[in-house]
Amino acid sequence: MFKEKRITVTGGKGFLGSHLLKRLEIQGCGHVKIADLPEYNLTNITDIRRMYEETNPEIVIHLAAKVGGIGFNQEKPAELFFDNLIMGTQLIHEAYLHKIEKFVALGTICAYPKFTPVPFKEEDIWNGYPEETNAPYGLAKKMMLVQSQVYRQQYSFNSIFLLPVNLYGPGDNFDPLSSHVIPALIKKCFDAIDGHAGKIEVWGTGLATREFFYVEDAAEAIYLATKFYNKSEPINIGAGFEISIKELAELIVQITGFKGNILWDKSKPDGQPRRLLDTSKAMKEFGFKASTDFQTGLMKTIEWYRNNRHIVR
C-alpha cells in the first residue's frame, strides 16, 4: 500500500532530495511530486496552499531548508531563523488543515545543546542552548518538533521528526559561500592543485569532531522512517562515528592528491566541540543502520567532484 501513496517532497531538487527521490523510485513509489523553487516559495503561505492543492499529497516529506556552514550562519542568522521557522510552521499547519495522512519533518543536529554528552541521545535535546553560530537555524528547525508533538496531542495529527547529522556525498553543495566542511575542503584542495598553491587554509583549530552521514544512507533512513515510524518523539539518524576536523582534512588532502600544507586559522570558530549521535533508537523503531564506510563514501564524493567540477560552482 505504501507504494501507492501520493508523496510530496519539499526541497526535492536539492542534494538530499535528489537522492531520496531515487530511493523512493527504487522502492516502487510511483506517485512522488516535488515542491521546490522556483515553482513554490515555501516561505510564502499562498505558495504553500497552492502546493497542497496542486500536488494533492497523502504524505509530505519536508527537506527544504535554508542552510550553510559556519560562515554562512554568522552572516545570515536572521534569514536562517525566519525562513526555516516560517517554512516548517506553515507547512505543518496547512498539512493538518488539508488532512494530510503523515508529515515527515527533517530537523538538524544543530538543534542539540552546545555541550551535549557524547553520544547525543534524543532525550538530551532540551538540556541546554545550541552552539551560538548555528543556534538560530537549529532552534527554528527544532520548533517543528514542538509543533509535531502538540498537533498530535490536540489534533491527533500524524507527524514525525528526524534529526540527521552532517550529510555528505555525490552532488553536495560545493559553493564556497554556503558549503559545509567536506565539500569546502574538497574544493579547496582541487583549487590549490589547479593553481599550484603550496597551502590551503582551514578555519579553526582542527580539534572539533564531527559525525558524517553518507547521503544515500540518509535517504534510506528517511524512507524507512516514513514507512514505519509513527510517533512524535525525535529520532536521530546518522552513522554513529566521529572524526576530528584535523583528521578529516588530512584524509581529504591524501585522497585528492594535494601535496601542500594545511594552514589552520585559529582566529575562526570551531563550532560545536563534538558531534556524535546515539542512533540505537532508529534501529529499534524502524530497522535503520548506516551501511557506508566513511572512507568509501568520501572517495565516491571526491571522485564525483573530480568528474563534475567543471559544471558545479
Each residue's pLDDT tens digit in the chain (313 positions)? 899 999 999 999 999 999 999 999 999 999 999 999 999 999 999 999 999 999 999 999 999 999 877 778 789 999 999 999 999 999 999 999 999 999 999 999 999 999 999 999 999 999 999 999 889 999 999 999 999 999 999 999 999 999 999 999 999 999 888 888 999 999 999 999 999 999 999 999 999 999 999 999 999 999 999 999 999 999 999 999 999 999 999 999 999 999 999 999 999 988 888 999 999 999 999 999 999 999 999 999 999 999 999 888 6
Task: Report how far residue 43's alpha carbon sits from residue 34's, in angstroms, rounded to the nearest whole number.
Answer: 16
Is domain 2-169+211-241+276-291 given the CATH code 1.10.357.10 in the classification? Answer: no
Contact 277, 109 (CB under 8 A): yes
Locate the domains of the chain by residue range.
2-169+211-241+276-291
pTM to 2 decimal places: 0.94
Is residue 229 part of the annotated active site? The answer reads: no
**In the chain, how long is the greatest CA-to-CA distance?**
62
Contact 11, 17 (CB under 8 A): yes
In this structure, the strands spanning 209-210 and 243-244 are: antiparallel
User: Beta-strand (E) ranges in the chain?
Assistant: 7-10, 32-35, 59-62, 102-106, 159-164, 166-168, 199-203, 209-210, 212-214, 235-237, 243-244, 261-265
Select which of 40, 96, 112, 137 is catalytic.
Answer: 137
Q: Is 265 helix (H, G, I), strand (E, B) or coil?
A: strand
